[in-house]
Structure 1
Amino acid sequence: MDKTELVSDHRVADPGASVMKKLPEVTLAFWIMKIAATTLGETAGDLFAQTLKLGYFLTTILLFLIFVVTLVVQLRSRRYNPFFYWTVILSTSMAGTTMSDFMNRDASSKYLSDGATSLGWGPQGLGLGYPAGAAILISLLVVIFTVWKFTGMTFVIRDIVTFRAEVLFWSAILVSNTLGTSMGDFLSDSSGLGYAGGALLVTGLLAVLVALMRVPAVPNVVLFWIAFVLTRPLGATAGDFLTKPTAKGGLDLGTAGSSAVLFAVLVGLMGYAHLRERRTLAT
């Protein structure tokens, strides 16, 4: 397997197969857009749940429904469309943010703004804590990959062209983004590293994965999925760094302003990816 899949372009062996390609090539631009989408997912999820005070319960239901709608659009598409694909990635990041918060947090004062006694309608959270929440999510991810393995379908993103394989892919994406949120929140809130320290740690781990690309014994598809999970806590810690108060180590830019800027950046990147895809199909 070609070890450059994480950061470089690939062409489909059969020229006609590009018509049915549903997922993007894994390039450096792919990872930049993934980090932008997951950072926006963190700030936008917090915007709905905390700033607008909808709470984790209602926001999780709302964002999961948005995920289902965007996923249906993606699944019904006959070929790769950057706007469809990255909208689903964004919706899984937003839903994953509040799903993780609902699993791990509760009505404790440390999770509420000063003077607040509740956050939105419904349960404040299950209060499982980050270790228990992560263990559940890792177990779910293992189950998904086990089922995927027994189907005999490929794990390589550029070769996923069937409906069943894509459903498994998106199931893994949703769980991995939720797991990544839990990891990011643990690094930011409980590890003592803070937002910047957590982001630096994840960046260092991603650098190790890049180095492992040169090790033939390490399957490239394993590196991809580890990197996919790790870019989520990078987005989570970066999002918290942008939005949290300076007293807590953040820049205090707010969820609304940060989300607006990140959304503009992501839309611009999606527009670039769309033009690039059109040029590829035209050649």
Structure 2
Amino acid sequence: MSTAAPSLSKVPEATLVFWLIKIAATTLGETGGDAVSMSMNLGYLTGTIIFSVVFAIAVSAQISTKRFHPFVYWATIIATTTVGTTLADFVDRSLGIGYPGGVVLLSTLLGASIYIWYRKMGTISIDSVSNPRAETFYWVTIMFSQTLGTALGDWTADTAGLGYAGGAMIFGAALLVILALYLWSNVSRTGLFWAAFILTRPLGAVVGDFLDKPVSAGGLALSRYSASAALLVFVIGAILVFKQRSAATPH
């Protein structure tokens, strides 16, 4: 009797390269989302509709693949972070509930997504993301985390008065704490992964705003288009230069 080989995860290992690309991709989501909603003057709602369509197409392509493909995976990540940017801005600003209300709402949705995923599948480990059902939970959870990250980053930098540099230091320090726990504790690796994944998004939000916001507001006033292009080139270059493999690939 033959035994079928276990399905490989369709997401990459959480290596240093993964986290560098993730931060660049989330920063790109901030500058790219703002480029469409603000620089093109399309507004948050129209921007959200546009990126929601892109997100749906990207997720469909990702789920339809039979194995991990770096370009398909990272294109989907970028799609989640751009729609997260415009959606968070729409919720916080257009709906008038403000950053605190947006953070509470999105935290609740993220928590519910993780809870339901765990209850239905028995695990939220990235090693298990190898079938359409697990992938659906994975991408819904990521979309909520990316949207929450935008609201949390804006709240920290603007409402809390820490500015973009202050916000970057706060989230950078939190990520260093997670790294220390990973290296020197027995805390759940799955829990640490999701904590780091969630926190890299507000870091990308404040870095993205620092790049393109006016000097008078504490930014560098760079073009959103050129900043987005530079970040996209970095992401593509990193994918081409550094080989990534499935999270469940045996060493």
Query: TM-score by structure 2 length?
Result: 0.93
For residues 221 and 20 of structure 1, the distance between their equivalents in structure 2, rounded to whole angstroms, comes to 17
Report the more deviating stretch, 207-216 or 56-65.
207-216
Residue 55 (structure 1) aligned with residue 43 (structure 2): yes
Q: Is the 8 A contact 2:211 2:220 kept in 1?
A: yes
Residues in 1 aligned to 2:19 and 2:238: alpha-carbon distance in whole angstroms: 11
Computing the radius of gyration from Cα coordinates, the structure with the larger value is 1
Name the structure where helix makes up a greater proportion of residues.
2
Partner SS for 2:12: coil
Alpha-carbon deviation of 1:66? Answer: 0.3
Higher relative contact order (CA 8 A, sep 6+): 2
Shift of 1:47: 0.1
Q: For 1:219, give the aligned amino acid.
A: S
TM-fit CA distance, 1:48: 0.1
1:215 to 172, 182, 185: 185
Task: Give the corresponding residue for 2:105.
Answer: 136
Deviations 1:242-263 (A, max 9, x none): 1011111111112111011111
**d(CA) in 1 for partners of 2:238, 2:5:** 26
Question: Does the 8 Å CA contact 2:30/2:205 hold for their aligned counterparts?
Answer: yes
Q: CA deviation at 1:127?
A: 1.1
Which consecutive segments of 4 or more residues in structure 1 shift more than 2 A? 14-17, 275-278
Can you list the C-alpha shifts for 1:190-224, whole angstroms capped at 9, x where unaligned?
Answer: 111101110011000101111112222x2121111
Q: CA deviation at 1:270?
A: 2.0
CA distance in 1, matches of 2:222, 2:28: 13
Partner residue of 2:228 out of 259, 271, 274:
259
* SS state at 2:9 partner: coil
- Write out aligned runs for 1:1-283 (5 A): 16-17=5-6, 20-105=8-93, 125-213=94-182, 214-216=184-186, 218-273=187-242, 275-277=243-245
Two-structure CA RMSD over aligned residues (Å): 1.9
Give how far 1:159 is off.
Answer: 2.7
Distance 1:132 1:219, change over 3 A: same
Which segment drifts farther, 60-69 or 155-164?
155-164
When residues 25 and 15 of structure 1 are mapped into structure 2, their CA distance, relative to the original with a 3 A threshold, is farther
- Distance apart, 1:184 and its partner CA: 0.6
Instruction: Please give the secondary structure, in 2, of the residue aligned with 1:147.
Output: helix
Structure 2 runs not aligned, ≥5 long:
none
Contact 1:20 1:78 in 2 (8 A): no
Distance (Å, rounded) in 1 between the aligned partners of 2:181 and 2:8: 31
Count of matched residue pairs: 245
1:277 to partner: Cα distance: 4.4
Identity between Structure 1 and Structure 2 (%) = 42
Q: Is the 8 A contact 2:128 2:134 kept in 1?
A: no
> For 1:126 and 1:241, how far apart are their aligned partners in 2?
25
